[in-house]
Amino acid sequence: MKSIEYILKDLVEKIKYELPIRSKEKSRYEYDRSKFISSHGDDEIDEKYSYDVDLETLRVMIYQLHFFNRIIHTNEDDIDIRSNKTVKEKLYEKP
Q: What is the DSSP string of 20-78?
A: PP-GGGGGGG-S-HHHHHHHHHHHHS-GGGHHHHHHHHHHHHHHHHHHHSS---B-TTS
Domain ranges of the chain: 4-68
> Taking the complete model, does pTM exceed 0.85, yes or no?
no
Q: For residue range 40-75, what is the model confidence (pLDDT) as tens digits?
A: 766 666 777 889 989 999 999 999 999 999 999 999
- Choose between 68 and 25: higher pLDDT: 68
Q: For residue range 8-21, what is the model confidence (pLDDT) as tens digits?
A: 999 999 999 987 78
- Is residue 74 classed as helix, strand or coil in its secondary structure? strand
Closest CA to 73 of 37, 31, 17, 10: 31
